[in-house]
Amino acid sequence: MKLAIIVGHNSKAQGAVRVTDGVTEYSWNSALAEEIEALGDDVRIFYRTKGGGYSAEIDRVYSEVNDWGATASVELHFNAASDERVAGCETLSSGSSGSTVLCEALQARMVAVMGERDRGVKVVSKDDRGGRSLWAGKAPAALIEPYFGSNPDSCDLADAKSKELAKAIYDAAKTV
């Protein structure tokens, strides 16, 4: 296994902001990525670098993932909604057989760790939001949203369970 962990967003455009502490997707997921990387020598973290627009950033980071020879890639995000009561875990997939196996394993393990609503595995096209990340690389890919940063209870839960979540992600990648 060679697991590529892609931190969602970048240092300039950091994504959604958690309601509890103002921490961004980029910052929170950078820490989660380090927890995953600490689990094995077969993990490498990749960061999107700003420049050339969204598509260029995605294409560039997944080109690096391809050059490394990843056997699976997981892009880290968290969700947000206008209603702070919305909660749950979801995973985006390209729908390819490898992506489906990876995403189903990730989703089951994230739900087991987080204990929140199973929002399911959602297949997206290249042109859908988040889709480019799932189609740009050669390895089976997943984009995960393990919790809602707009839900205070979910933020607290994610903080308390981050090490378990990291292990769940690492273990799920072994299924590919």
- The domain spanning residue 96 has which CATH number? 3.40.630.40
User: At 176, is the pLDDT very low, low, confident or very high (cuts 50, 70, 90)?
Assistant: confident
Give residue 130's pLDDT: 87
Q: Which pTM value belongs to this model?
A: 0.97
Burial class, 75, CB count within 10 angstroms (exposed 0-12 / middle 13-18 / buried 19+): buried
Number of domains into which the chain is organized: 1
Say how far apart CA 138 and CA 111 lie, in whole Å.
Answer: 27
Q: What is the pLDDT of residues 113-148, one digit of tens each?
A: 999 999 999 999 988 888 999 999 999 999 999 999
**The pairing of beta strand 89-93 with beta strand 141-145:** antiparallel
Average pLDDT, the chain: 97
- The mean pLDDT value for 34-49 works out to 97
User: At 93, is the pLDDT very low, low, confident or very high (cuts 50, 70, 90)?
Assistant: very high
- The mean pLDDT value for 153-165 works out to 98
DSSP H helix total and E strand total for the chain: 6, 6
Q: Whole domain around residue 163: which residue ranges?
A: 3-173
The answer to whether residues 174 and 37 touch, using CB atoms and an 8 Å cutoff, is no
Give residue 127's pLDDT: 86
